[in-house]
């Protein structure tokens, strides 16, 4: 079923939302709306996104009708900002579990995977006014029916429909996603949220490599701390506390 303004209006009730058949980046639109005074929980959606932003300065293109492209405006306490990344991955994982998807895992820090292949990306962006946090835009791109066959992503990316073997309605996914965000966002600082995220991580216990501030780190991903940082022990037994990055399994 198509995503349309009127369908979304019926499903989202009193929630503030803006829907664009085509957008450059829903995160950019939500950042603008946030600075203009959007309330917490407001949502920006697009059917097609042509200048989507990915992590680490990458781009994230989404063809029309193929994905759930959503940016949610949140107003957490500044000390809980690191938890917004966890929140994004966790709610997507729970949404997938709610539609009956097995083999859901989180690759640290926030790539949700199905059987080890990436099904979604999360990009939180904060807006500061001096030392005050004005809010955060939690951008999420969830592959619903993007065909990665014969693309360079074929062995790394996956969409929900081919994985499940039947059609899914993006509006239904959205409603499930937002209900998990409403559940968890008042609990950002809790150990329940941390544990729910940590228990889905597939990275712990594995040998990994990653670039950390110009330095290549190899070692075992031992654990995560309550801010979501990854603790990696290298062969000299030195610990590295990694706050962000793109890990590869093995050496």
CB–CB of 58/31 below 8 Å?
no
Which one of the spans 19-27, 33-41, 90-98, 229-237 is the region binding ligand BTN (CB under 6 A)? 19-27
**Site pattern 59..88 for ligand BTN (x: CB under 6 A):** -x--------x-x-----------------
CB–CB of 114/163 below 8 Å?
yes
Residue of minimal Cβ distance to ligand BTN: 121
- CA dist 15 and 250 (Å) reads 44
Whose Cβ is closer to ligand BTN: residue 106's or residue 219's?
106
Q: Please report where in the chains the tokens 């995560």 appear, as a residue.
A: 224
Q: Please spell the DSSP secondary structure of 40-71, one letter per residue.
A: TT-EEEEEEESS-B-GGG-B--B-TTSEEEEE
Q: End-to-end alpha-carbon separation of the chain, Å? A: 44
**Site pattern 30..59 for ligand BTN (x: CB under 6 A):** -------------------x--xxxx--x-
Number of other CB atoms surrounding residue 79 within 10 Å? 11
Query: Minimal distance in Å, beta carbon 238 to ligand BTN?
Result: 29
Query: Minimal distance in Å, beta carbon 237 to ligand BTN?
Result: 32
Interface ranges with ligand BTN (CB under 6 A): 25-27, 49, 52-55, 58, 60, 69, 71, 121-123, 139-141
């Amino acid at each position: 079923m198509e995503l349309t303004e009127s369908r979304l209006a019926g499903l989202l009730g009193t929630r503030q939302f803006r829907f664009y058949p085509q957008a450059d980046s829903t995160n950019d639109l939500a950042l603008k709306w946030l600075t203009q005074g959007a309330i917490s929980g407001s949502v920006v959606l697009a059917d097609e996104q042509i200048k989507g932003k990915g992590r680490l300065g990458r781009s994230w293109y989404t063809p029309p009708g193929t994905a759930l492209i959503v940016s949610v405006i949140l107003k957490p306490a500044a000390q809980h900002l690191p938890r917004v990344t966890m929140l994004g991955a966790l709610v997507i994982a729970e949404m997938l579990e709610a539609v009956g998807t097995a083999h859901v895992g989180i690759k640290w820090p926030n790539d949700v995977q199905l059987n080890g292949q990436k099904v979604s990306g999360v990009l939180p962006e904060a807006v500061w006014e001096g030392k005050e946090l004005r809010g955060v835009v939690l951008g999420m791109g969830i592959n619903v029916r993007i065909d990665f066959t014969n693309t360079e992503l074929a062995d790394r990316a996956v969409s929900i429909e081919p994985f499940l073997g039947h059609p899914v309605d993006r509006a239904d996914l959205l409603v499930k996603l937002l209900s998990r965000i409403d559940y968890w966002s008042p609990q950002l600082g809790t150990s329940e949220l941390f544990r729910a995220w940590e228990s889905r991580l597939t990275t712990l216990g594995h040998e990994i490599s990653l670039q950390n501030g110009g330095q290549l780190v190899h070692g075992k991903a031992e654990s995560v701390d309550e801010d979501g940082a990854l603790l990696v022990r290298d062969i000299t037994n030195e610990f590295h506390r990694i706050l962000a990055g793109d890990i590869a399994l093995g050496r």
